[in-house]
Amino acid sequence: MGKLNMAAMLLMLMFVSIADAQVFDIGKYGGKPNSDIAQALTSAYKEACASTTPSKVVVPKGTYNLSPVNFEGPCKAPIEFQFQGTFIAATEKTTEESWVAFSNINGLTVSGGGVFDGQGPTAWGKCEKNEYCKSLPMNFRFNFIVGGSVTDITSKDSKQFHVNLLGCKDLDFIRFTISAPGESVNTDGIHIGRSSGIKVIDSNIKTGDDCVSIGDGSQQITIQGVTCGPGHGISVGSLGKYKNEEAVVGVTARHCTFTGTSNGVRIKTWPASYEGSVSDMHFEDLIMNNVANPVLIDQAYCPWNQCNAKVPSKVKISGVTFKNIKGTSSTPIAVKLACSSGFPCQGVELADIDLKYTGKEAPAALSQCSNVQPKVSGRMNPPACTAPVSLN
């Protein structure tokens, strides 16, 4: 059978499965608006998960309270959660690491237009340099999910990370909305760890930390059509802090827009680090609107002086392209490639960069490089690697 016919058949089977899915409405399990539906939702899920044919757990429109829930697989067939309502997290301190968790499920769909309000403002003020911050739950956790999508869902005001992925494969986030103010603490939008084939598509992320952060062991990650801001941009890393970190390979960010963020696209590794590697990174067709660090490789990432910045990073960076990046920088150094003196960056390319500086500290945007000799082509504003390197 030809590839086209096979694809058409798989698509037809998928639609048939969705149409024939057995429906488990939480109303049948006692779930009602303006009450805590954790028990009803868990009961509906257990029956749906046991179904040998595709199933759908439905939460109708309405406002619901929701205690922490963990949907643990494996299930006997693909399962869909259709969240149509607005869900409110508890404000009391909890020992749970996540509010809504999905684990060990093959064929997971989360959809329905639902809004998950983590009630973050009740916790953020207690977070700054406080152990309390480490115990706050994330809005969503996806552990070891294989095949699926999260579509038309909103994560609002998470107490910590909005979404954390671990060990997932072929999971797509489509038209996913993250909404939190810039001052929200430690609220990464989507953190991807040791996962492969992850796509974040046509999504809008406003938060107080990285819009998308990519940790060790992640491979073949695609970020496309994402708007980011406020936030800290799209970050690979930080890497090298822990022993036995796995390589990061194959990250592409394209057709994204950054507005008022502290960074655009960056790769960050710790100095005095353990060994590691980052390769096959591609950042292209990006728009920067008043971004502090539009293009950044930082191999001396050392917040709060937690490390020995004089010892070079041992994380090897290679095969990185920055292409067709336009807009404005809110700081004079619009392009900064600060690579490790112990392991200089290899195969870095700059092409068609046009970034203007909007402030008054310098007459024009500048580009700064250390321990790297990038290949340069096309328009280059600022001129590549012409600014003096700071000793600080």
DSSP 8-state symbol, 151 = E
CA atoms of 312 and 299, how far apart (whole Å): 8
Give the Cα separation of 17 and 14 in Å (integer). Answer: 5
β-strand 212-214 against 219-224: which pairing, if any? unpaired
Catalytic residue among 191, 232, 255, 282: 232
Alpha-carbon gap, residue 260 to 277, rounded angstroms: 30
The residues that bridge with 330 in the sheet, in sequence order, are none
Query: Six-digit token pair at 203?
Result: 């999504």
Report d(CA 295, CA 331) in Å as an integer: 11
User: 237 near 301, Cβ under 8 Å?
Assistant: yes
Cα gap 336→291, rounded to integer Å: 13
Rounded distance between C-alpha atoms, residue 106 and residue 45, angstroms: 14
Only one residue has tokens 């909103």, namely 154
Specify whether 232 is catalytic. Answer: yes
Q: How many CB atoms lie within 10 A of CB 95?
A: 7
Please check whether residue 26 is in contact with residue 51, taking contact to mean a CB–CB distance below 8 angstroms.
no
**Separation between Cα atoms, residue 329 and residue 100, nearest integer Å:** 37
CA dihedral sign of residues 99, 112, 215, 297: negative
d(CA 205, CA 180): 8
Q: Which amino acid is at 280?
A: D
Tokens of 363: 């007459």
Amino acid in position 227: T
In terms of Cβ atoms closer than 10 Å to its own Cβ (0-12, 13-18, 19+), residue 3 is exposed
CA distance 133 to 146: 30
Report the catalytic residues.
232
